């Protein structure tokens, strides 16, 4: 199995997508989703471009109706991307 999943021609982080989908199915309180997603990707001081694309996909597809998506999108604008 590949580390990546291609959605609409864009390479995404398969593990991160799975984490978000499982979180969505098993949690009733979404107030922790933003810190939990960020903790999942922040294994260093920055995230990869693929992780950023995946997080943006999660915010528009999975989290679109959650009030925390506004905070999440603002946080995504300020993350450090690995070079």
Tokens of 35: 């810190």
Q: What confidence score (pLDDT) does residue 45 get?
A: 76
* Radius of gyration for the alpha carbons in the chain, expressed in angstroms and rounded: 12
Q: What are phi and psi of 68, to 5 degrees?
A: -70, -10
pLDDT at 31: 77
pLDDT digit string, tens, across residues 38-67: 888 887 778 999 999 999 999 999 888 888
Exposure string for 30-50, b = 16+ CB within 10 A, e = fewer: beebbeebeebbeeeeebeeb
Which pLDDT band, with edges at 50, 70 and 90, does 12 fall under?
very high
């Amino acid at each position: 199995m590949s580390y990546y999943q291609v959605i609409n021609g864009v390479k995404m982080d398969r593990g991160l997508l799975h984490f978000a989908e499982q979180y969505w199915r098993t949690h009733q309180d979404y107030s922790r989703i933003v810190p939990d997603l960020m903790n999942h990707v922040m294994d260093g001081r920055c995230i990869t471009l693929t992780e950023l694309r995946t997080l943006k996909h999660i915010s528009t597809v999975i989290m679109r109706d959650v009030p925390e998506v506004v905070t999440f999108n603002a946080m995504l604008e300020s993350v450090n991307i690995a070079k």
